[in-house]
Structure 1
């Protein structure tokens, strides 16, 4: 469909010549996905005008995405739009808070141009995760790879690894950190920590949490003024339970859990 949007017949022919090889790349990518071994794929450091595969240059491979998949009015644009609309609730699967506005290349097309239009390498993402996230960084170990929403969802949603710490300040402040289950293999634990770091999620979640802390404070003042610390704690833990059934590792689940377990916050820290 991307090639159908190319007006230059000579370029069309050169693209058609490499279809089989790009299809092989797609199969290899899927194999790497089952073992989280994308980091072993060598990055391409050629200049933009150098030939990468067949008679097609690096810049022409990248143009398959920018001009013929993302390009408005091109046949491939329907695939782009379908991928863009695939995220549940239009929420970015990398962070869970941003609204999807673009597609992110899990392996950046600047370093992996042969994967520029591979749908399993294209993730609907918010602007912050796409522009200010992992960027063009290339993982050099299994543990340094961010979580892939398509291949890793079952593993990383199977147990809680995102937690929150409460600081006894006035007003109360929080921070977020990764603490994967002890039974997880070392590289898997490190991937959770790498994901948090790559997308600067502690800072971004803390901004979201600040508003929620204000809401909780007001609720406690208005409706729990005569309640005991234990009753406030139970309310927060009930909120955690509801959130955990929706999202195992959401910042809200971690926040409610930490606040509900904080005797200081439930006693006087919310004031």
Structure 2
């Protein structure tokens, strides 16, 4: 969750040509040398700005070509002339970077192509994502007019501190009901970054969507949880702590699973009676 390695750019000039040329060789739109150079300048500026909005990303030189670039994204879809680009980006991760669990099927335009048509096929503006995250994000981006919040972090560019900032609050009732809520909290973090991360949690409705994932994940760990709990509460708590630490290598220290197990390890009620939630061990 949160970060991915930046996409390999491949041959951006060849992608431009393929996107704007029919298979029979006729031009969908014939870029002038000035327009082609302007697109490459936009790509270079995108790198400098780390994917954040800037006036230079919509140059006047591309006013005539912008809509054609916008429409060229159709060639990134299955069966299109750039379908290999789509396949390569989708294959770059096994889970959606926005939520950390969703199956990657969509490409999200970090800066929406409705505004930034020039970037419609630029690999580093295309973030592999799951359908729910892509639909919830929609056209939200930093600095958008009438934005309801600060936008989402850029999965390729946003530097994040190597500190715990995703925390889980657990409420374990005597009847065995487990409620978990995730939040962003780190006193040393830049407040603007903290606000963006919290906005991402809220905008993508992750707390509501994590409920099923928490149940599924803990149910999958049921045998190990009940076996270790039988060894005593102290051993069980240490097991959860060590499991949380071990997951960091696979998912990062601010993955929801890491935060979940870290919190459960410190919850006396859960450590005393996990069988209330998972059911009793087999006889």
* TM-score > 0.5, shorter chain as reference: yes
Relative distance call for 1:245 and 1:187 in structure 2 (3 A) is same
Q: Give the secondary-structure state (helix, strand or coil) at the position aligned to 1:12.
A: coil
Relative distance call for 1:96 and 1:4 in structure 2 (3 A) is same
Match of residue 41 from structure 2: 24
Post-superposition shift, 1:219? 4.0
| TM-superposition CA deviations, 1:213-259 (whole Å, max 9, x none) | 334555444x2464332222111111111112322111111111010
- Structure 1, gaps ≥5 residues long: 45-50
| TM-superposition CA deviations, 1:50-96 (whole Å, max 9, x none) | x98242253x2211111x3335251x332222222222xx2222222
- Aligned positions, number: 252
Report if the CA contact (8 A) 1:102-1:125 is conserved.
Answer: yes
Report if the CA contact (8 A) 2:140-2:152 is conserved.
Answer: no
Relative distance call for 1:157 and 1:149 in structure 2 (3 A) is farther
Of Structure 1 and Structure 2, which has the larger fraction of its residues in helix?
A: 1
| TM-superposition CA deviations, 1:28-47 (whole Å, max 9, x none) | 111111xx7x1455998xxx
Match of residue 55 from structure 1: 64
* 1:28-177 to 2 correspondences below 5 Å: 28-33=45-50, 38-41=52-55, 53-58=62-67, 60-66=68-74, 68-70=75-77, 72-74=79-81, 76-87=82-93, 90-131=94-135, 133-140=136-143, 144-152=150-158, 155-156=159-160, 158-169=162-173, 170-177=176-183
Distance in structure 1 (CA, Å) of the matches to 2:115 and 2:46:
14
Distance in structure 1 (CA, Å) of the matches to 2:29 and 2:117:
17
* Greater RCO structure (CA 8 Å; 6+ sep): 2
Report if the CA contact (8 A) 2:184-2:197 is conserved.
Answer: yes
- In the superposition, the TM-score normalised over structure 1's length comes to 0.81
Report if the CA contact (8 A) 1:14-1:54 is conserved.
Answer: no
Match of residue 187 from structure 2: 182
- In the superposition, the TM-score normalised over structure 2's length comes to 0.78
